[in-house]
Structure 1
Amino acid sequence: MSEAEKEVALLELPEPSSPGPGQILVTVEAAGVGPWDELLNGGSWDVGLRPPAALGVEGAGKVLAVGAGVTGFAVGDRVLAHEAPLPGGSGFWAERVLINADHAAACPPGLDAVRAAALPVNGLTALQALQKLDLGRGQRLLITNGAGATGALAIQLAAAQGIEVTATASAAAAERLLGLGAKTVVDYHDPNWPAKAGAGFDAALIIASGTADAALPLVRDGGRLCSLTSDAPEGERGITSWDLYVEPDAAQLVQLAEQAATGTLTLATEPLPLSEGPAAFARVVTGGAGGKKIVLIQA
């Protein structure tokens, strides 16, 4: 992509090539839409798209063909994946996508395509952030934007480990987040939200842009701050502060998929037909998804 943002529109694209060694061709049943797709469209996140191309770096579907050396999957297997870079030069917002087999996870029988496609990027981001924050039972974590897809998953994963979570969100989302395992929800509309959240947190997970600087003073000396919005401040008082960028990880995705299949990990979804992709993209990048994960499905 060039630096200029490309128009997001419905296109007739050529079929992906046959899978090469270590690759699988997947018939896409559902594909996730996220704010990162704006980075793909503008070229800020280079995942190897070769325009004209389909956006989308996550989805679920059935294996249509396997390349040489692939032993973990066979034609007809259901899979989900986060893939970046995209070896076929085109993404999941299409009828078929070419991906690396070692980035795909088997889709459990109890997990439908919509919920599977909603999981990869948000789930892997939340899991990888929590693993790096390395908190234990009874420790305190501040999450900004707990109502979004990544925040909601991070709350559930953290609460399952016995971590005490305080999340910022709108008042309308408070009941839902408390039900997911947050101990406290603070209304981010309140300009005094940092004081309402308290202090002495062992770590902060920054998911809302522009909140890292306000969150840093709330972290105890020697604590940790992980930003998912590329704005981690300089550490102070012995605090370790860094930006995190999600990476494909099939083993982690297997873990997340199994939890989603059993209902111990949930995510609110809004399925829309693939034909509504441009409108879905516009909603997501302007914050209009209303706390739901938009998933494009084949009609």
Structure 2
Amino acid sequence: MSRAGTEVALLELPEPSSPGPGQILLAVEAAGVGPWDVLEIDASWDVGLRLPAALGVEGAGKVLAVGAGVTRFAVGDRVLAHEAPLPGGSGFWAERVVINADHAAACPSGLDAAHAAALPVNGLTALQALEKLDLSRGQRLLITNGGGGTGALAIQLAAAQGIEVTATASASAAERLLGLGAMEVVDYHDPQWSTKVRGEFDAALTIATGTAAPALPLVRDGGRLCSLTSDAPAEERGITSWDLYIEPDAAQLARLAEQAADGSLKLAPEPLPLSEGPAAFTQVVAGRAGGKKLVLVPA
């Protein structure tokens, strides 16, 4: 991106500077693409871009250099990270990126670059939302947009805790989500979807824009609602309602990476060459990824 508000395009950018204290320089092996990346374009999300710059706030790579004071990583280590703001002024959709070492997690040997890059934002968002909802085994959770990257991971993490999940998704995604642990999948294309489920959910995690309001009546008195789309409704009936915004967390990311490596957390990345970044961005922002997680791989 060359200047704020312009289209995403391929650019020739200078090499990033050497890592400063507490930072590491990565050779990017794969970088995730998500709907949140559009916020970087219109400056709605200040991630410290210094234009012209590469977008991308998640990825995986190999350490090329370490800054002063970095002891957790050495040259040659493989890591994954969600980073925002970007200390080097440029993001992961490039061949090199500078990040804070404290936000990086070691990449397990059994996790390839595409799967590692697909994990940070979706995984951390799902985990942080579920931790804040604080549900117990046997309690019921409604997840909207269960077929997306965050929703699919939230279903798996919740099901592993014995939480009973009902998810909204397209009919084509139902079999996949049931296989990931959902107890019930409701077709969100049905305008009456909210009347097709049994209410009295202990909590709702709303991931699709505009679903927080119809989800609220389905939550029991004193329950909880977490919105990932900045549209949490006003609290009523003792229901706690809030918007959640992801934070980098290396310890949480390390746990998620181990689960992905041992197969207990399933991902479905679709690697694309870095040259297809603009097209991938357009596809994801328009909601045409079909539940797939697109990742960019430098040549």
When normalised by structure 1's length, the TM-score is 0.99
Partner of 1:219: 219
Give the residue type in structure 1 aligned to 2:9.
A
1:176 is paired with a residue whose SS is helix
- 1:2–1:42 Cα contact (<8 Å) kept: no
Partner of 2:234: 234
Q: Deviations 1:241-280 (Å, cap 9, x if unpaired)?
A: 0000000000000000000000000111110000000000
Shift of 1:153: 0.1
Instruction: Give, in whole Å, the separation in 1 of the partners of 2:60 and 2:83.
Output: 11
Instruction: Give, in whole Å, the separation in 1 of the partners of 2:36 and 2:191.
Output: 27
- 1:171–1:187 Cα contact (<8 Å) kept: yes
Partner of 2:84: 84
Partner of 2:16: 16
Instruction: Give, in whole Å, the separation in 2 of the partners of 1:285 and 1:265.
Output: 25
1:233 is paired with a residue whose SS is coil
Residue 168 and residue 103 in structure 1: after superposition, are their counterparts in 2 closer, same or farther (change >3 A)?
same
Partner of 2:100: 100
Partner of 1:128: 128
Partner of 2:41: 41
- 2:169–2:185 Cα contact (<8 Å) kept: yes
- 1:226–1:241 Cα contact (<8 Å) kept: yes
Q: Deviations 1:23-46 (Å, cap 9, x if unpaired)?
A: 000000000000000001111010
Is residue 140 from structure 1 mapped to residue 140 from structure 2 by the alignment?
yes
Q: Report 1:1-299 matches (<5 A).
A: 5-299=5-299
Instruction: Give, in whole Å, the separation in 2 of the partners of 1:110 and 1:267.
Output: 13
1:197 is paired with a residue whose SS is coil
Give the residue type in structure 2 aligned to 1:204.
A
Shift of 1:147: 0.1
Structure 1 residue runs of 5 or longer lacking an equivalent are none
Shift of 1:196: 0.7
Instruction: Give, in whole Å, the separation in 2 of the partners of 1:133 and 1:3.
Output: 39
2:25 is paired with a residue whose SS is strand
Instruction: Give, in whole Å, the separation in 2 of the partners of 1:100 and 1:197.
Output: 44
Shift of 1:3: 10
Instruction: Give, in whole Å, the separation in 1 of the partners of 2:191 and 2:89.
Output: 44
- 2:206–2:227 Cα contact (<8 Å) kept: yes
Instruction: Give, in whole Å, the separation in 1 of the partners of 2:78 and 2:59.
Output: 11
When normalised by structure 2's length, the TM-score is 0.99
Shift of 1:298: 1.3
Shift of 1:225: 0.2
Instruction: Give, in whole Å, the separation in 2 of the partners of 1:45 and 1:119.
Output: 20
Percentage of pairs with the same residue: 83
1:215 is paired with a residue whose SS is helix
Instruction: Give, in whole Å, the separation in 2 of the partners of 1:289 and 1:116.
Output: 18
RMSD over aligned Cα, in angstroms?
Answer: 1.2
Instruction: Give, in whole Å, the separation in 1 of the partners of 2:267 and 2:38.
Output: 22
Give the residue type in structure 1 aligned to 2:215.
A
Give the residue type in structure 2 aligned to 1:138.
G
Give the residue type in structure 2 aligned to 1:225.
L
- 1:24–1:63 Cα contact (<8 Å) kept: yes
Give the residue type in structure 2 aligned to 1:53.
A
Give the residue type in structure 1 aligned to 2:290.
G
Structure 2 residue runs of 5 or longer lacking an equivalent are none
Instruction: Give, in whole Å, the separation in 2 of the partners of 1:247 and 1:151.
Output: 17
Instruction: Give, in whole Å, the separation in 2 of the partners of 1:2 and 1:217.
Output: 45
Instruction: Report how many aligned residue pairs link the two structures.
Output: 299
Instruction: Give, in whole Å, the separation in 2 of the partners of 1:38 and 1:147.
Output: 20
Instruction: Give, in whole Å, the separation in 1 of the partners of 2:165 and 2:2.
Output: 41
Shift of 1:109: 0.3
- 1:2–1:43 Cα contact (<8 Å) kept: no
